[in-house]
Chain A
Amino acid sequence: MDENKNGFDRVAVEAIAAGLKERPGALMLILREVQDRFGYIPRESVPIIAHALNLSRAEVHGVVTFYHDFRSAPPGRNVIRLCRAESCQAMGAVALAEHVRARLGVGFGETTGDGAFTLEPVHCLGNCGCSPAMMLNDELHGRVSPARFDELLAGRNDGGR
């Protein structure tokens, strides 16, 4: 049917595309909306969006894969975005990244086996006055030491909300 195990919903994607397709530069708006809805861009949504915008599937795929934000797989229940850029490097971000990877047991772009955390790299969160910085879901954090990271993680180790 229209729902598969990854939560893809054909009708919802069609509605998003139909609602935005007349807007200038609609593809980026549609992809953002699809990702907000599903947490990623389901493969199955690409032909639907392409059809709505009279683009080829390759063009839509090309845009999806160009931008770091657009995911091709569902993220974990919590998304950690760890800054890897220079200001944070100057304040220990490389060691922090090592700690985070060891603590979670995953690398960048991966999700923990229990589906609790996805670790993503980010290049600057604009919090360079409080480096190192990270985002935990929608929350920005500054001066994140390994110990502070563990505290934040403990607050979210929910096993499955």
Chain B
Amino acid sequence: MSPTVYVPRDSSALSLGAGAVAEAIAAEAARRGIDLRLVRNGSRGMFWLEPMVEVESARGRIAYGPVAPADVPALFDSGFPAGGEHRLSLGLTEEIPYLKRQERLTFARVGIIDPRSLDDYLAHGGYRGLARALSMPAEKIVEEITESGLRGRGGAGFPAGIKWRTTQQAAARQKYVVCNADEGDSGTFSDRMIMEGDPYALIEGMTIAAVCAGANQGYIYLRSEYPHALRALNEAIGAAYRRGYLGEKIAGGSHTFNLEMRLGAGAYICGEETAMLESLEGKRGMVRYKPPVPAIAGLFGQPTIVNNVISLATVPIIIERGGAFYKDYGMGRSRGTLPIQLAGNVKRPGLVEKAFGVTLRDLVEDYGGGTSSGRPLRAVQVGGPLGAYFPASMLDLPMDYEAFAANKGIVGHGGVVVFDDTVDLARQARWAFEFCAIESCGKCTPCRIGSTRGAEVLDRLASAGGRAAAIGLLRDLCDTLTYGSLCALGGLTPLPVLSALRHFPEDFGLSRSEVAWTG
């Protein structure tokens, strides 16, 4: 049997040269007359080892990395297609501690299967969730999702079961399922990895949502910055149609579900669900007033289930194994697992799926191995550009929606960005306002104007005169943004700003007592 070699087609792996590595392996195999089966898998999510190549062996898959095209002839010399030893050998992939200690439910197949192959998906448990859903009444599907405790993984953490129940019970001839794939938070890439590494999981999750709600049309709103995810999803959707998993009478049942890709156009605000719906309707991505909620009046005014990629891609395993199985993971009111993304200045960046409750220290030190610069860690920002900056002294915080809220932060979409001691938190705080100003949709005044005024006030804080007045203004301004903004962009921009002030006053030239008001 010809050996099987895996070289990721994940964007990050490609950005480090995986494409050239795949070409070099194919060329070298041809030169040596070796008949190789080359699979372009997703990434295992250990980016410091990318491009990471794997080969199938009798003992399991064996990894090599990071591989450069120039390493390829020597790899062949050492017999790597049969798992031979080489200085780049990493041993059995599944035994690499970073991977072995994870609890991969949503990411169970990512990096393992050929993401373009529906047969591979089926061979690894794919579409079992849909099969079960088709045998259940809609109310029972809602019950399983509710029982699982699944909360929106896009960032807001709203219970998915409530959204589903609302849309399922709404009376309308036309309903929609929309996937929010506008993953714009810096430090996050889990949506992208799923879409590139296991696109059928997302399609299956959306199909289950459609069956549950009685929706016959779905859209995936994908950010334009993800061309590889677009290709992977388009191919998967095409194959799902050809094999009867999309279209009329899906999977031999009585339901019709059509699914279409739609591209964003570089607007962070379109990750806000109502702005995304406006954009899908072909308009400016302006945030809508709520109520009505999208579950009742969403896309084109019709009841719409809107969920993030990770939420929807987690649905198949919940329906297949049952809500109780999923709920068994996690802590408090944060149930299940969270695909956490380690990014920024970290030695071992990557994707770590763990049950809620894992601490920042476990993540940043044990998994991440500290900073990549080797300098002391000074801050982590969790939850994207609207998330709080925490100092090294707070690394014992567990990943848990409530624990983060109690510490004036957010879990968000699970991105953890590490900074070393060269970071200037005053500059990061100013950036938070600048970013808000760049990306504000402009509908509500606090966000549209407050973001620019905020940057100005921080500049005044940095100058010697009028510091006390500037602090008073900043305090008022942050209150106005927090309580007066229409959506989370304006509403949460004070989080990075105030957390920077609270934990790092010295960067602003302030004393602890001058920032006591930040809480």
Contact = CB atoms under 8 A, between A and B. Distances in A.
Contacts of A133: 15
Contact of B345 (A90, A122, A138): A90
B227 to A, nearest CB: 6
Given A28-B279, A86-B344, A68 B266 contact: yes
Contacts of B344: 86-87, 89-91, 128, 131
Given A86-B186, A86-B428, A87-B186, A129 B265 contact: no
B341 A129 contact: yes
Contacts of B428: 86, 89
A100 interface: no
B362 to A, nearest CB: 18
A128 B189 contact: yes
Chain B interface residue count: which class? 35 or more
Interface in B171-205: 183-189, 191-192
Contact of B225 (A25, A126, A141): A126
Secondary structure call for the A interface: mixed
Nearest to A135: B225
A4 to B, nearest CB: 24
A88 B345 CA distance: 9
Chain A interface residue count: which class? 35 or more
B303 interface: no
Secondary structure call for the B interface: mixed
A142 B16 contact: yes
Contacts of B420: 90
Of A27, A28, A63, chain B has the most CB atoms within 10 Å of the CB of: A28
Nearest to A86: B186
B284 interface: yes
Of A68, A86, A89, A125, chain B has the most CB atoms within 10 Å of the CB of: A86
A86 B225 contact: no
Contacts of A62: 284
A127 B12 contact: yes
Interface in B322-349: 341-345, 349
Given A129-B350, A131-B344, A63 B284 contact: yes
A127 B186 CA distance: 9
A25 B281 contact: yes
Given A24-B300, A26-B282, A67-B285, A129 B349 contact: yes
15 contacts: A28-B262, A28-B280, A29-B262, A63-B284, A68-B266, A69-B224, A70-B265, A86-B187, A88-B186, A122-B225, A122-B266, A123-B438, A130-B50, A140-B12, A141-B15
Interface of A: 24-29, 31-32, 53, 62-63, 66-70, 83, 85-91, 122-131, 133, 135, 138-143
Which 5 interchain pairs have the tightest Cβ spacing? Answer: A85-B186, A90-B344, A27-B282, A128-B343, A67-B265
